Amino acid sequence: MQQRFETFTVLIAKISRSIRRIKAEEMSEFHLKGPHVSCLYYLTQLGPLTAGQLCDRCEEDKAAVSRSLEYLEQNGYVTRPDKRYRGPLTLTEKGQETGRAIAGKIDRLVEAASEGLTPEQRQVMYDALTCISGHLERLAVPQKS
């Protein structure tokens, strides 16, 4: 049991560090950070979204998404008709162009990361990760006495 725990936690930590490093390297040409990339990616894939919807998609807190959106708006990537939190954000032409480039990079990286896996193996991996994530989220919630 101890070996499974060590293997699991080490591999998950290595994957997380690698993802952060790859995001930083691959996105440096755009002068964007991880949360900026996530916001642009989801707006590119899903169309106009509110800040709240982006929080849910990006798995980031409200403050982090708010800071990212402020940066993206000030640098001409997104617009919102009203400045309220609930207003939908729309990509500008610059945002659309950058979002497509980011999505292309992400597609290539995901494909390279799963190289050598059959579609069936990939599905089993995602199913297992989804199951484990759900269990860990439930365990992470403080239990009521």
- In this predicted model, what pLDDT tens digit does every residue of 92-121 receive, in sequence order? 999 999 999 999 998 999 999 999 999 999
Q: How many CB atoms lie within 10 A of CB 106?
A: 18
Mean pLDDT of the chain: 88
Q: 3-class DSSP state for residue 43?
A: helix
Give the residue from 57, 40, 52 showing the smallest Cα distance to 92. 40
Q: What is the rounded distance in angstroms from the CA atom of residue 34 to the CA atom of residue 71? A: 12
For strands 78-79 and 90-91, give the pairing: antiparallel
Which of the two residues, 1 and 38, has the higher pLDDT score?
38
Q: What is the rounded distance in angstroms from the CA atom of residue 25 to the CA atom of residue 19? A: 10
